[in-house]
Amino acid sequence: MVKWVYTFGDGKAEGSARDVALLGGKGANLAEMASLGLPVPPGLTVTTEACNWFYNNGRVLPPGLQEEVLKGIAGMEAITGRRFGDAGRPLLLSVRSGARASMPGMMDTVLNLGLNDDSVQALGHDAGDARFAWDSYRRFIQMYSNVVLGLDHELFEEILEDEKNRLGHEFDTDLTAVEWQHVVSLYKEMLEEELGEPFPQEPHEQLWGAVSGVFSSWMNARAVTYRMLHNIPEAWGTAVNIQAMVFGNLGTSSATGVAFTRNPSTGEKTLYGEFLVNAQGEDVVAGIRTPQSITEEGRIASGSERPSMEKLMPQTFAAFREICDRLEAHYRDVQDVEFTIERGKLWMLQTRSAKRTTRAAMKVAVDMVAEGLITREEAIARIEPSSLDQLLHPTIDPKAGRDVIGSGLPASPGAATGEIVFTAEEAVAAEAEGRKVILVRIETSPEDIHGMHVAEGILTTRGGMTSHAAVVARGMGIPCVVGAGTMRVDLRNGRLIGMGMTLEKGDVITIDGSSGQVLAGRVAMLQPELSGDFGRLMEWADGLRRMDIRTNADTPSDARAARSFGAEGIGLCRTEHMFFDGGRIHVMREMILAEDEKGRRAALDRLLPMQRQDFTELFAIMHGLPVTIRLLDPPLHEFLPKTGKETREVAAAMGMDEAVLGQRLDALHEFNPMLGLRGCRLAIAYPEIAEMQARAIFQAAVEAARETGAAVVPEIMVPLVGLRSEIDYVKGVIDRVAQEVTGEAGLRIDYLVGTMIELPRAALQAHAIAEAAEFFSFGTNDLTQTTFGISRDDAARFMTIYQRKGIVDHDPFVSLDFDGVGELMEIAATRGRRTRPKMKIGICGEHGGDPVSIRFCENIGLDYVSCSPFRVPIARLAAAQATIAAKAVRLGDA
């Protein structure tokens, strides 16, 4: 028989932190905390398998589940001394969702379940606090009605607002027992009117309704969107946690809160959190009242007058701090915890690995190595390579003038500028038009997710560092300022009112997620500094990785940027870009349009010094590091005019008859240029072009060697080779030029001639090609194109359809197709090295900057990956992770 239910509580648990897939993150960690002996209210977890059964069987609960749950509840009754459904000392329950991957706020929770018109009286009597009992009941009715009965929260909030206005109360906590009782009766009236039947009074009926409701919340629109954005499979399902309630709303010695064991924004090692006295559940994150800081340090930093938990409840605080330390040491990672204090007694309700900014992740990883908690390998493995993009966010130039119009809490670092929009829909619409926006809200809710995703930055006027906006923005790496209380959003008139200034939708503002400031207009920005923790981690990564990291750089500025990011050479310098510059394109066109070899040579003679200058500069910047230069690759028509107007202009500029030019253009026309006269075919048809390029390269190498004293070993790469005889021919041309230049200079030049592997035939014939080629570089853009027979320039049109229909699970132009393209690479590497054992092999396609593809390159033993300059740090980290993973596999095999 399948076991659907796992219990926890009283120092014991049937599950553990290892059971995340089965019990969800929340359930697994509640079990773990219970086993650690931490104060966790007893409860049970209904497995994700039960959720899948539920969906596979027309949304009914699996047989046997109810018996198991009731047995678990009996255990909770024994521990708490209360009884579920009892009118005297009722056991109340929380019914909580909890998936395998954390999906904050996406699914639903019902608190205070088991209350009805009778037990509410008993609860009040038992606690000696009728106000508390009615407060709990109204919360329960609202949550249950929303999650299970499908009623909108707003229906309830309107009633409560009206009552507060009528009674002249500002806060929910101002309402008395009698007043809450009246609110409850209003809720029930409204509900019966809406639904045609009264609120369910029978606790067991409530329970099964809530369990089904939580399962159903797995498919609500918010959860579905979140899963799509985060690649979470639908088949994972959610678990349901049923747990004894503890009460943070039992007067002034009670409270509820959330905390991070270290600062999630900076990574600083200080306990960091917020709480609310006399409150329950999500009050802290909902922004209903502004929460108080947990620590004195935090209170002072936020400039708040309201006492910290440290001050208000010193003993409970001490116990809490100790538990946080224990959890961190146990999980060896920063924890994000939820807790409740019931009349001075602390209860832990959740722990999970904390979401953090990349900057915080770096600091925590480096600090934890220093603290001896984790190894360098673990530190490196913990950083998601693609998240390094976050560090590349600009910050506001300290020298720039700041027109401050408001300020709030610095919730997610980086600065962003954009037009004001007030709704998620407006954000999405603006983004579709290519406009950059700052989403400005009073507070955000999970319904705003799609708008937050496309915004440059997020600004809210309410809420704390753990509010929805703050948590989500940090996760997405979007700059965010929350709780800008000096500003006001006037939604009705579409205005943002700041200090001394009223702004409207479409006006430009800048937010500084690192200081919390809101500025009018655009502000000068600085590019980020990549030192400190980042530098340290990169150093460790460099020490661990086996592969070299090179860059794809065509210009001196690319090369300089790449070096500052740590590139160890150029893996691909595309020479065609050099011919588009300023006056060069004219000379290039003269060369292409020349009637004969003599004409071509005349133009090439004028291109030579320009090309030589390019290489001299590149060689100087790279200072002795390897530089791979690819000979001219694209079909020549790419350099020629396309429209009639351009043709007329070019004809005039070249003093050529328009009709003659037209004929030459027609003659150069190809049906399928990507498979036409390009790559090494050009060098074979017009060897004088390759000659000129080789001469420029060798002369530059001589010059650079003389100037810098650092010898360069140019690696000349012949593109699109499919036949051994092709590389033989082109290599012959290059070698001859090398002889000539060395002779003239009286200097020896070391150089390599190699080839791109970008045709399936080249991969298969790699052993033959390697007899001439001294190195290989996988041009995986073309190799993917030629292996699939899919034009990469036309793929976008159907690749999204393919992905949507599940024909492919990812775009093979983004992440390597291991099975097809990958196998060809493996064949080529193996066969190439059979001929030339020490041959250097790398990759220079887009895939060279993709972490998953980098892992594959490690596994087939490539010597280096080459990627665009801004991806170099990502590649350094990904390559180190790949080495660590490969080592782990080898050890596992042994």
**Residue 125 is a catalytic residue:** no
Which residues make beta-bridge pairs with 865?
A: 549, 843
Residue 340 interacts with ligand ADP (CB under 6 A): yes or no:
yes
Cα–Cα nearest to 435, from 416, 456, 451, 415: 456
Residue 41 interacts with ligand ADP (CB under 6 A): yes or no:
yes
Cα–Cα nearest to 627, from 579, 574, 680, 581: 574
Residue closest to Mg ion (Cβ): 350
Residue from 4, 48, 82, 96 in contact with ligand ADP (CB under 6 A): 96
41 binds, among Mg ion, ligand ADP, none (CB under 5 to 8 A by kind): ligand ADP
Residue 142 interacts with ligand ADP (CB under 6 A): yes or no:
no
**Residue 51 is a catalytic residue:** no
Stretch that binds Mg ion, among 65-73, 78-86, 350-358, 867-875 (CB under 5 A): 350-358
What is the maximum span of the chain, computed from C-alpha positions, in angstroms?
Answer: 106
Which residues 6+ apart lie within 8 Å of 331 measured at CB? 17, 351, 353
Residue 111 interacts with ligand ADP (CB under 6 A): yes or no:
yes
| Closest distance to Mg ion from the beta carbon of 282 (Å) | 6
Question: Of the two residues 328 and 336, which places its CB atom closer to ligand ADP in the complex?
Answer: 336
- Cα(458)–Cα(473) distance, rounded to whole angstroms? 7
780 annotated among ligand-binding-site residues: yes
**First-to-last C-alpha distance (Å) of the chain:** 37
Which residues 6+ apart lie within 8 Å of 37 measured at CB? 11
59 annotated among ligand-binding-site residues: no
Residue 131: HSE in the Cβ half-sphere, 13 Å Cα cutoff: 13
475 annotated among ligand-binding-site residues: no
Question: Of the two residues 109 and 765, which places its CB atom closer to ligand ADP in the complex?
Answer: 109
574 annotated among ligand-binding-site residues: yes
| Closest distance to Mg ion from the beta carbon of 492 (Å) | 29
231 annotated among ligand-binding-site residues: no
298 binds, among Mg ion, ligand ADP, none (CB under 5 to 8 A by kind): none
Please say whether the dihedral angle defined by the alpha carbons of residues 556, 557, 560 and 562, taken in this order, is positive or negative. Answer: negative
Residue 136 interacts with ligand ADP (CB under 6 A): yes or no:
no
- Cα(846)–Cα(386) distance, rounded to whole angstroms? 14
Residue from 267, 273, 281, 719 in contact with ligand ADP (CB under 6 A): 281
Q: CA-based Rg of the chain, rounded to a whole angstrom?
A: 33
Question: Of the two residues 104 and 676, which places its CB atom closer to ligand ADP in the complex?
Answer: 104
Asked whether the beta carbons of 69 and 76 are under 8 A apart, the reply is: no
Residue 693 interacts with Mg ion (CB under 5 A): yes or no:
no
Q: Print the binding letters for residues 329-348 with Mg ion: x by CB under 5 A, - otherwise.
A: ---------x----------
Catalytic residue among 51, 324, 393, 468: 468
Ranges within 65-124 binding Mg ion (CB under 5 A): 109
779 annotated among ligand-binding-site residues: yes
449 binds, among ligand ADP, Mg ion, none (CB under 5 to 8 A by kind): none
Residue from 7, 29, 94, 292 in contact with ligand ADP (CB under 6 A): 94
Stretch that binds ligand ADP, among 105-113, 216-224, 566-574, 845-853 (CB under 6 A): 105-113
Q: Is 412 helix (H, G, I), strand (E, B) or coil?
A: strand
Name the strand (E) or helix (H) holding 129.
Answer: none
Question: Of the two residues 444 and 611, which places its CB atom closer to Mg ion in the complex?
Answer: 444
Q: Print the binding letters for residues 215-254 with ligand ADP: x by CB under 6 A, - otherwise.
A: ----------------------------x-xx--------
| Closest distance to ligand ADP from the beta carbon of 351 (Å) | 11
DSSP 149-182: T---HHHHHHHHHHHHHHHT-SSGGG--HHHHHH
243 binds, among ligand ADP, Mg ion, none (CB under 5 to 8 A by kind): ligand ADP
Asked whether the beta carbons of 701 and 619 are under 8 A apart, the reply is: yes
408 annotated among ligand-binding-site residues: no
| Closest distance to Mg ion from the beta carbon of 158 (Å) | 22
Catalytic residue among 51, 324, 480, 844: 844
Residue from 52, 243, 292, 350 in contact with Mg ion (CB under 5 A): 350
| Closest distance to ligand ADP from the beta carbon of 238 (Å) | 10
Residue 220: HSE in the Cβ half-sphere, 13 Å Cα cutoff: 21
Count residues contacting ligand ADP (CB under 6 A)?
16
Residue 280 interacts with Mg ion (CB under 5 A): yes or no:
no
Residue from 32, 129, 282, 431 in contact with ligand ADP (CB under 6 A): 282
- Cα(861)–Cα(351) distance, rounded to whole angstroms? 41
Tokens standing for residue 592: 């292409």
Cα–Cα nearest to 754, from 842, 877, 638: 842
Distances in Å between the Cα of 114 and the Cα atoms of 23, 123, 143, 205 are: 24, 11, 13, 9
DSSP 253-301: T-EEEEEESS-TTT--SS-EEEEEET--TTHHHHTSSPPEESSHHHHHH
Asked whether the beta carbons of 336 and 264 are under 8 A apart, the reply is: yes
| Closest distance to Mg ion from the beta carbon of 108 (Å) | 7
| Closest distance to ligand ADP from the beta carbon of 258 (Å) | 7
What's 437-505 look like in SS3? EEEEECCCCHHHHHHHHHCCEEEECCCCCCCHHHHHHHHHCCCEEECCCCCEEECCCCEEEECCEEEEC
Residue with tokens 């009615």: 134
661 binds, among ligand ADP, Mg ion, none (CB under 5 to 8 A by kind): none
Q: Print the binding letters for residues 344-373 with ligand ADP: x by CB under 6 A, - otherwise.
A: -----xx-----------------------
- List of residues contacting Mg ion (CB under 5 A): 109, 338, 350
Give catalytic residues, as residue numbers: 468, 844
Residues marked as binding? 574, 630, 758, 779-782
The annotated binding site for substrate is made up of 574, 630, 758, 779-782
Binding residues for ligand ADP, per CB under 6 A? 41, 94, 96, 105, 109, 111, 243, 245-246, 256, 281-282, 338, 340, 349-350
